[in-house]
């Protein structure tokens, strides 16, 4: 059996202001295996985005533990967490979040500007990431000159250019039509199967679910590991 990449132990999460308290997770236990392609399902407002933010270290929990492999991450301080995040997780959003004034290759290069890599090393990594998502011939295009699926693939290249083991995807095909969704899903499948990336994908889309091997459905504050699907 594969080792866990994320383990949540008795995680409580709520939001509160002076008037009310919104409970999201109550003693949530969950294990996601290394190298997994899993779908996170559940109704709107059930806590799917919150889960991704917790896993990615951009939101905090109220109690419990979160482990990434052998590292406990919920008690890291801000600078340790920032370093951990930069080395381990890339985010992909429904709205692509590309910078419109920058070309595809400049967008992909952004996470590398904070590293010590030389310009030549950065360019080599950017070219490899764009090749991986099948966009070598669009490197100089700006987002407005690309289709939705191509823009999302630029965002995927940006998320993986620093060679991170985990991609956290929040409805990555939510803004795309069927054909361009399939392009993006095929790219994610390639990254999972051939490059061993662990992919955790929130989605409402049944086709997207069929690309995942495991799915977790949020039910009354707890994620139920539902099915082990044969990878299509």
Ligand X SMILES: Nc1ncnc2c1ncn2[C@@H]1O[C@H](COP(=O)(O)OP(=O)(O)OP(=O)(O)O)[C@@H](O)[C@H]1O
103 is a site residue for Mg ion (CB under 5 A): no
Asked whether 138 and 150 are in contact (CB, 8 A), the reply is yes
Least distance between ligand X and beta carbon 192 (Å): 22
Residues, the chain, total? 232
* Residue 141 or 204 with smaller CB distance to ligand X: 204
- The 10 Å CB-count burial string (b at 16+, else e) for 92-127 is bbbebebeeeebbbbbbbebbeeeeeeeeebeebbe
* Residue 45 or 196 with smaller CB distance to ligand X: 45
Nearest to residue 52, comparing CAs of 36, 44, 43, 40? 40
Interacting partner of 15 out of Mg ion, ligand X, none (Cβ under 5 to 8 A depending on kind): ligand X
Q: Map the footprint of Mg ion across residues 132-151, applying CB under 5 A.
A: none
Least distance between ligand X and beta carbon 22 (Å): 5
Interacting partner of 196 out of ligand X, Mg ion, none (Cβ under 5 to 8 A depending on kind): none
Nearest to residue 108, comparing CAs of 132, 80, 81? 132
Least distance between Mg ion and beta carbon 161 (Å): 25
Rounded Cα–Cα distance for residues 156 and 56 (Å): 16
Rounded Cα–Cα distance for residues 107 and 126 (Å): 9
Residue nearest to Mg ion (CB): 49
* Interaction site with ligand X (CB under 6 A): 15, 22, 24, 42, 44-50
Stretch that binds Mg ion, among 46-54, 102-110, 129-137, 210-218 (CB under 5 A): 46-54
Least distance between Mg ion and beta carbon 152 (Å): 16
| Choice from 49, 173, 180, 187 touching Mg ion (CB under 5 A) | 49
Interacting partner of 23 out of ligand X, Mg ion, none (Cβ under 5 to 8 A depending on kind): none
Interacting partner of 50 out of ligand X, Mg ion, none (Cβ under 5 to 8 A depending on kind): ligand X
- The 10 Å CB-count burial string (b at 16+, else e) for 177-212 is eeebbbbbbebbbebbeeeebbbbbbbebeebbebb
* Residue 187 or 203 with smaller CB distance to Mg ion: 203
Asked whether 24 and 67 are in contact (CB, 8 A), the reply is no
Least distance between Mg ion and beta carbon 52 (Å): 8
């Amino acid at each position: 059996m594969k080792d866990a990449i994320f383990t949540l132990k008795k995680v409580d999460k709520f939001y509160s202001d002076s008037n009310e308290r919104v409970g999201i997770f109550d003693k949530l236990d969950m294990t996601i295996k290394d190298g997994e392609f899993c779908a996170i399902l559940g109704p709107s407002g059930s806590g799917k985005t919150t889960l991704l933010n917790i896993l990615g270290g951009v939101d905090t929990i109220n109690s419990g533990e979160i482990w990434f492999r052998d590292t406990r991450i919920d008690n890291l301080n801000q600078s340790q967490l920032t370093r951990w995040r930069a080395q381990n997780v890339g985010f992909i959003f429904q709205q692509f979040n590309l910078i419109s004034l920058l070309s595809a290759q400049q967008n992909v290069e952004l996470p590398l500007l904070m590293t010590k890599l030389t310009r030549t090393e950065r360019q080599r990594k950017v070219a490899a990431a764009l090749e991986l998502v099948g966009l070598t011939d669009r490197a100089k295009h700006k987002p407005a000159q690309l289709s939705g699926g191509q823009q999302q693939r630029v965002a995927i290249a940006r998320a993986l250019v620093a060679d991170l083991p985990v991609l956290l995807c929040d409805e990555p095909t939510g803004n795309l039509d069927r054909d361009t969704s399939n392009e993006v899903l095929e790219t994610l499948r390639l990254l999972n199967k051939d490059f061993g990336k662990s992919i955790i994908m929130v989605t409402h889309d049944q086709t997207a679910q069929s690309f995942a091997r495991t799915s977790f459905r949020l039910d009354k504050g707890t994620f139920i590991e539902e099915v082990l699907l044969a990878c299509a």
